[in-house]
A and B are shown apart, each in its own frame.
Chain A
Amino acid sequence: MVDKLYQTNDSDILLEIRDLDVSFPTGRGELRAVNGISYNVRRGEVMGIIGESGSGKSVEAYTILGFLKAPGKINAGTAAFEGRDLLAMSRRELETFRGREISMIFQNPMSCLDPVFTIGRQLTETLQTHFKGVSASQAREKSIEMLRSVGIRDADRLMKRYAFELSGGMRQRVMIAIALLCSPKLLIADEPTTALDVTTQAQILRLLKKLRRQTDMAMIYITHNFGIVAEICDRVSVMYGGYILEQGTVDDMFYRAAHPYTQALLKAVPRVDSLPPYEPLIPIEGAPVDPVNPPDGCVFHPRCAFCTEICRREAPPRTVFSAEHSASCWRLDGGAAEER
């Protein structure tokens, strides 16, 4: 059922990221945050980026939106949004783009809500900035409508309140309302539910799924939680140490995972609905890569159970299994690892 979604042609591609490479100079040397990653996002689909902290998953998203701050620098790559390179845009151009064509929601809503303005003011201001000629009453009407559609019942009263007066779930809803106000074509969600209780989290995920069905908005969903990936994503990219190690549909990832890292992650996550006989949790030993001193060869080799000689020397090529599913690992490269 899900696989059908992808028998589509290239005109459906909304965002195409090619060979993106981002680094930060540090006192210890250059920190290689993102190492030449490529992926695309089609209209109306949810691309999940899964990875642990330090995998580069957030840096990559911030870069697309032009939020990368000095001293971070883009060494190479393009990010074509409907054919226009976001990385080559001037700040002026980006400003009209952000919020209107692409929006972003974050883990901590307080970081994007202004504490000194009412919720209503922040919504109407967003609308009036992006659409000149919208009257105050129109903006107010549209804002209330938006708040209702993100599941806020008492939208009228909420307009007069301040961010600090709201619960975590409410703030997250308000942030989503602001992000969706201008009907963006792409929403980047950076772990928006991590700080919330499970029931609130489930409601926010439902809400995002509903809004996406209604508006055909595409999403990049950044998370470290495999449950959320299963819940909301159509396709997934697994990031580790600034590389995409495996990419495919959710079903590829959960039922046909090819890369040892993806397989290991899946075995390291406990499930609430498990029945005896229980499978043991198999932890991934070792520590994540140090992006200032990345290992030679495959970036995952120091923690990999299948590491061979060539893995220590050379970075693995990408093995393609289907139009959607690919992974970078020597084991998958037609037995090349054994030959050498």
Chain B
Amino acid sequence: MDDKILISVENLSKNFAVRNRIGRKTVLHAVDGVSFQIARGETLGLVGESGCGKTTLGRTILRLLEPDGGRILYDGTDITRVNMRPYRSKMQIIFQDPAGSLDPRSQICDIVAEGLCVTGAGLSRGDRASKVTELLEKVGLDGGIARRYPHEFSGGQQQRIGIARALAVNPEFIVCDEPVSALDVSYQSQIITLLEQMQENMNLTYMFISHDLSVVRHISDRIGVMYLGRIVELGGGVEIGVHAAHPYTRSLLTAVPVPDPQVSRAREQEPIADIQTDGGIPSQGCRFHASCPHAMPVCAVEEPQLREIAPNHLCACHLHAAP
């Protein structure tokens, strides 16, 4: 196995038992047979609309949710069933809602140092305090705020605290679950830049989950596009952002507003796909065929598999079937 690969996910699935409208029990396949790898130091972006399973996928990889099928390999070791304790300090998460993810009754120093109490056992109280100050300064905050409470800070600052907490245990891999979606434009760019700096300084590996294609495009080396529990396209930034092959990715791209009036005037006549996501997963065929502008007879019968259509570009679509 390639030793540069840090995270390897094979055929991963996660189901939830839910009740449908008439109260009958059904199974929701939130993540359904997903496979990909993330190299050390790389950022894999994950985009998709609400309900596509991107957050579930992130949490299942961290085993915050138990997978129902498939395997997760961390640095070559199968962690699908093991006790996660030794891995918790290597794999961290940053949440979307900065206020909601910080305990309102804890001081900043306790929030940031909580991980240290577990991994850094043996640290004296003074060492711990200086480590907290160092972490806060690293994420661009004043070390003197350690005795204050989360509500005293703005959303951007709270997100920085969340990042300091994740970094406290010296992780290698961080799942960033919509870390900038709740923030204003100027804070958004501050946090993105901070994450990029941290990655460079600490050689971090990110899985960056967001519904905002522009943000994902900016921060990611490769991007995976999810639709109803499956990855339908996976490739480099230019492959996905400019030369997208899957009709779903293309519909997403036409829908993203571009901050350039000339471009938006030129696109005025392009049709916008009417994407159905609440209908559930069709029993057979491609999951996207009902909303697809290019659907062919085969699409309703056979589900396309993710296959390489160009170097560093995978796509699951019959339009790009092997010759």
Binding site for B on A (CB under 8 A): 1-2, 52-53, 167, 197-199, 201-203, 205-206, 224-231, 250-251, 254, 264-266, 268-276, 281-285, 287-288, 303
| Contacts A230-B264, A268-B186 supplied; 6 other A-B pairs, CB < 8 Å | A225-B257, A231-B257, A266-B259, A268-B188, A270-B219, A281-B193
Contact yes or no, B258 A271, CB < 8 A:
yes
Number of A-B contacts (CB under 8 A): 128
CB contacts (< 8 Å) of A203 on chain B: these are 272, 274
Task: Judge whether B19 is part of the interface by a CB distance below 8 angstroms.
Answer: no
Task: Judge whether B152 is part of the interface by a CB distance below 8 angstroms.
Answer: no
Can you offer 9 A-B residue contacts whose CB atoms are under 8 A?
Answer: A167-B278, A197-B277, A227-B256, A231-B257, A270-B219, A271-B259, A271-B260, A287-B154, A303-B186
Contact yes or no, A283 B192, CB < 8 A:
yes
Interface size, B (range): 35 or more
Interface residues of A: mostly helix, strand, loop or mixed? loop
CB contacts (< 8 Å) of A281 on chain B: these are 189, 192-193, 218
CB contacts (< 8 Å) of B214 on chain A: these are 227, 269-272
Contact yes or no, A250 B261, CB < 8 A:
yes
Binding site for A on B (CB under 8 A): 49-50, 154, 156-157, 184-186, 188-190, 192-193, 211, 213-215, 217-219, 238, 241-242, 251-261, 263-265, 272-275, 277-278
CB contacts (< 8 Å) of A268 on chain B: these are 185-186, 188-189
Nearest-Cβ distance from residue A45 to partner chain B, whole angstroms: 14
Interface residues of B: mostly helix, strand, loop or mixed? helix
CB contacts (< 8 Å) of A202 on chain B: these are 254-257, 272
Closest to A266 in B: B259
Nearest-Cβ distance from residue B240 to partner chain A, whole angstroms: 9
Complex formed: what's the CA distance from A229 to B264 in Å?
10
Contact yes or no, B257 A254, CB < 8 A:
no
Complex formed: what's the CA distance from A279 to B219 in Å?
12
Nearest-Cβ distance from residue A200 to partner chain B, whole angstroms: 8
Closest to A284 in B: B186
Nearest-Cβ distance from residue A60 to partner chain B, whole angstroms: 17
Complex formed: what's the CA distance from A284 to B156 in Å?
12
Interface centre among B252, B255, B274 (most CB of A within 10 A): B255
Complex formed: what's the CA distance from A274 to B188 in Å?
18
A2, A270, A276, A288: the one contacting B186 at CB < 8 Å is: A288
Contact yes or no, A230 B263, CB < 8 A:
yes
CB contacts (< 8 Å) of A231 on chain B: these are 257, 264
CB contacts (< 8 Å) of B259 on chain A: these are 226-227, 229-230, 254, 266, 269, 271
Complex formed: what's the CA distance from A226 to B251 in Å?
20
CB contacts (< 8 Å) of A201 on chain B: these are 255, 257
Contact yes or no, B186 A199, CB < 8 A:
no
CB contacts (< 8 Å) of A229 on chain B: these are 259
Complex formed: what's the CA distance from A230 to B192 in Å?
23
Contact yes or no, B261 A251, CB < 8 A:
yes
CB contacts (< 8 Å) of A282 on chain B: these are 189
CB contacts (< 8 Å) of B277 on chain A: these are 197
CB contacts (< 8 Å) of A271 on chain B: these are 214, 217-218, 258-260
Closest to A226 in B: B259
Given the contacts A270-B218, A283-B193, A227 and B275 also touching, CB distance less than 8 Å: no
Contact yes or no, B190 A284, CB < 8 A:
yes
Given the contacts A197-B50, A284-B190, A288-B186, A230 and B272 also touching, CB distance less than 8 Å: no
Given the contacts A197-B211, A276-B238, A230 and B257 also touching, CB distance less than 8 Å: yes
Contact yes or no, B257 A283, CB < 8 A:
no
